[in-house]
Amino acid sequence: MSLPLYVQGAWFFGALLFIVGLKGMSSPVSARKGIVWAGYGMLVAIAGTFMIPDLHNIALIGAALLLGGAAAWISGKKVQMTDMPQMVAIYNGMGGGAAAAIAAIEFVRGDVHSTTVTLLAVIGALIGAVSFTGSCVAWAKLQGVLKKAHRLPAQNAVNVILAGISILLGAAMVIMAPAEPGLIYAFFLIALVLGLVVTLPIGGADMPVVISLFNAFTGLAVGFEGYVLGNPALIIAGIVVGAAGTLLTQLMAKAMNRPLTNILFTPMTGGGDGGQAIEGTMKEVGPVDAAAMMRYASKVIIIPGYGMAVAHAQHKVWEMTALLEEAGVEVKFAIHPVAGRMPGHMNVLLAEAGVPYDKIFDLEEINGEFPQCDVALVIGANDVVNPVARTDKSSPIYGMPILDADMAQNVIVVKRGKGAGYSGVENALFYTDNCRMLYGDAQPVVGEIIQNLKTLG
């Protein structure tokens, strides 16, 4: 059915707003405006859909919008910043699942006949189904529902076999179009199982990259299904999201120096060989001495990590920074690309606390300054400052670019306990002569440092 020009125009305008919104989200300064513009784009696209002549099931569409909108509003209001990565994962999974569900309905109704359209529908359904179940597993891991990775015997062989079966079933659907219901159900079942099996063995250290990859999958699935439905808004939005997700996945894999094939087929699970044994002992420091070391320093670099996020300590950290700067200390923030659980996680937390953007530097910008730094303060970070990534070829994180905190004159590490990091690898930084450990939850610990800074004047 040829749709009226005003419907297609609304969809196209909505797609343009998606692009404008995505452009805005490329910078912390304009990210909020970008999200708002993308929201307007969604409203325009929905309005265009309701303008379709002889639209059926309007009540069901309205009910779905109300239920989905209410759930998103409530969860968005309640979610903690530390839980944002798993929310991204589950919302992303819903997008992939929706794309797969659209394809399933089209197949069951027998509305897909053209070979090209059937092929794109099959591809979109496959990657959408994989993204759905894989993202659900990612959410369960980050939320703590799944406590550990689960690896099957001959895991990679199982992955290849499931992928091969799903491709063969998809090819049969293209050749036999319209396909029989039994073939359709078998195809979707295998595709859903594939997403589960591929994601279950992947540990927490690799999960941010996997979430980004599934985000790219969802975008591509939406784009393919948009072509099947003849909807330009879905095509453009899907392509843009797919391209952005692919680029982000590549950047994160590069930041970890781990090829995507290694992340999917030889994941870091936190077990096994953690590299060479580390010699030496950890040396503790108290809040009083930590405050004095920073108060009388010329330059302090703060490295935030997930521990700061969990403790909601970003406001205290900014209060401490202000006191140091009043005393004439130069303070900068160093952010690793995969600090926290998602790219930009630390940037958002610091921005929330009021830290100016010009004080936040990424790895390439800040690493050269550590040798001239008097104190590097590590708050809840672990793997991103582990020097074995440079020195120990047997370590699972060897080759991963890190922040060179160990090259500072002094290092203070605020940490809740003596456990290893997200990758399960012991941190050699903690045993170096220039490092001191300050144990405790980040918020009260930084609060004690603040009180001692005030007494030092």
Tens of pLDDT, residue by residue over 201-252, are 887 667 778 888 898 999 999 999 888 887 777 888 888 888 888 888 887 7
pLDDT tens digit string along 137-152? 988 888 878 877 677 8
The contacts of residue 284 (CB under 8 Å, 6+ apart) are: 436, 437, 438, 439
Query: Which residue has 């594939």 as its token pair?
Result: 194
Residue 132 located in a structural domain: yes
Give, as one character, the DSSP assignment of residue 402: -
Does one domain contain both 308 and 443?
yes
Does one domain contain both 94 and 170?
yes
pTM (2 decimals)? 0.77
Q: What whole-number distance in Å separates Cα of residue 295 and Cα of residue 127?
A: 54
Does one domain contain both 188 and 295?
no
Q: What is the domain extent for residue 225?
A: 80-265
Q: What whole-number distance in Å separates Cα of residue 220 and Cα of residue 166?
A: 18
Q: What whole-number distance in Å separates Cα of residue 253 and Cα of residue 251?
A: 6
Q: Is the peptide bond before 178 cis (omega within 30 degrees of 0)?
A: yes
- At 397, which CATH number? 3.40.50.1220
Enter the tokens of residue 45. 């696209």
383 is catalytic: yes
Q: Are 97 and 126 in contact (CB under 8 A)?
A: no
Enter the tokens of residue 140. 């369960």
pLDDT of residue 272: 47
Residue 255 located in a structural domain: yes
Does one domain contain both 432 and 372?
yes
Does one domain contain both 233 and 345?
no
Does one domain contain both 361 and 212?
no
Q: Checking phi first, is residue 419 left (phi over 0); if not, alpha (psi -120 to 50) or beta?
A: beta
Reduced to 3 states (helix: H, G, I; strand: E, B; else coil), residue 248 is: helix
CA angle 98–100–104, rounded 5-degree value:
115
**Structural domain count of the chain:** 2
Q: What whole-number distance in Å separates Cα of residue 76 and Cα of residue 21?
A: 19
Q: Which amino acid is at 167?
A: I
Q: Which of 206, 383, 392, 406 is catalytic?
A: 383
pLDDT of residue 406: 93
The answer to whether residue 308 scores a pLDDT higher than 60 is: yes
pLDDT of residue 414: 94
Q: Are 435 and 427 in contact (CB under 8 A)?
A: no
Does one domain contain both 122 and 228?
yes
Does one domain contain both 306 and 374?
yes
pLDDT of residue 423: 55
CA angle 261–262–265, rounded 5-degree value:
80
Does one domain contain both 223 and 152?
yes
